[in-house]
Amino acid sequence: AMDAVLTWQAEGYDSHLSGGLAEDFLRAEPGPPPPVVAGRKEVEEILEFSHEICRDASEEFCSLDLIARRIEDFKHRARAAYFQAYVPESLPQLVSPYVRLELLRWDPLRPAQRQSPGSGDPGAREKPLESMGWHRALARYGRPGRGGEKGKPDPDASLLGVLVDKLALPRLRFLVQECWDPTSEPQSRVLRRAVSEAAAAAPDGSEALTEVILLVKNGLHASLEGCSVPLWPDRVAGLVPGCRGFVAHAVKRAAGAFAGALLFDGLLDRPTITKLAVQGIFCGKLLPYLRTLTRSDPESLARILCRLCGSVPTAWRQSGMEELKPLLDFACDCRRNWQGNEKMAGVSGELGKLLQSMGRGA
């Protein structure tokens, strides 16, 4: 226990948690300081220099939107020459520097706390793909109603899909591999949105998309090891400083991993998510510890159950109640045990409303 707590404190987590488990669990924890990433200084220098790349170029060549309009105008005026010059085949390579430059700043899993030198728009890290400049400039390029021949497929219609497949998905693959913490529900929510947007634009049979989804699945599997909640006796908590904070942090990580895994329903098949989130995290990691709280700390238990039930997405509430049966059964049993306990009336009522929204009693 001492070794585990000392390692946790050395990693920079907030070890000065003084309340009971309920307060510690609900406390907004800042987490460890951002790690020093190798090459971060070089990346910031590149971002700063990126604003100077087109400084000496004509304005019409600095904006991808203007370039796309210019090329599309050429296509409309001289369609035969446009295809004889192999413009559709060359277009992805032509526009890719502009796309890469904007994607370099795209890091949704590491939201900018402040505007750093060269970062440009402080919200650029968190932008959805569809709101990025290159996506808006090229979203309608080559699509029906843009001057193409009726009845004939336009080879330019696949431009956006090619760019997503060759540029955006590799960037997303890096973020999943190197930056994503599967025990962080906010990160999982952002990642789920980004992967869904990329999947909607990627071409059918995209190997890059398949690889990203596989990495997500592997990341969720790997997170199981970090979701363990220690079953230390109460006397250990009194002897080891920071022990209660360590346990609260472990519970928060497991609850975050549970909630995050449920979010990937639709990208991963339901049986895989059920095995990971319900059987692996809840039944395997959380439930043994939660059972110890039924008598010793029912208020903390209720708060944790509210957190778990409240994190269940709408899609699961509509069609996933059978898969979530272990969680719902345990929560209902706890509520029955708290009947007549005035101290538990408030939080038990809150849990009851959540269970009722999932069809499990008032």
| Residue 274, pLDDT score | 94
pLDDT in tens, 102-122: 888 888 887 544 444 444 454
User: pLDDT by residue for the chain (362 residues), tens digit each?
Assistant: 444 544 544 444 444 444 455 555 555 444 444 444 445 566 667 767 666 666 666 666 778 888 898 898 999 899 999 999 999 999 999 999 889 888 888 888 875 444 444 444 545 556 788 888 899 889 888 765 555 555 567 888 889 999 999 999 999 999 999 889 999 999 999 999 999 999 999 999 999 999 999 999 999 999 988 888 888 776 666 666 667 777 888 898 899 999 999 999 999 999 999 999 999 999 999 999 999 988 888 998 999 999 999 999 988 887 767 899 999 999 999 999 998 888 888 989 999 999 988 887 65
Angle (CA) 216-221-222 rounded to 5° is 95
Block residue for tokens 């296509």: 75
9: burial class by Cβ within 10 Å (0-12, 13-18, 19+)? middle
What SS3 class is residue 294? helix
| Residue 5, pLDDT score | 46
Average pLDDT, whole number, for the chain?
80
pLDDT in tens, 255-282: 999 999 999 999 999 999 999 999 999 9
Q: Which helix (H) or strand (E) element contains residue 53? A: none
**C-alpha–C-alpha distance, residues 32 and 201, integer Å:** 35
pTM: 0.81
Among the listed residues 170, 188, 245, the one whose alpha carbon sits nearest the alpha carbon of residue 19: 245
| Residue 27, pLDDT score | 55
What SS3 class is residue 65? helix
CB contact at 8 A, 172 and 244: no
What SS3 class is residue 87? helix
Half-sphere exposure of 66 (CA within 13 A, CB side): 6
DSSP E strands: which ranges in the chain?
Answer: none
| Residue 141, pLDDT score | 85
| Residue 142, pLDDT score | 73
Among the listed residues 142, 221, 237, the one whose alpha carbon sits nearest the alpha carbon of residue 183: 221
42: burial class by Cβ within 10 Å (0-12, 13-18, 19+)? exposed
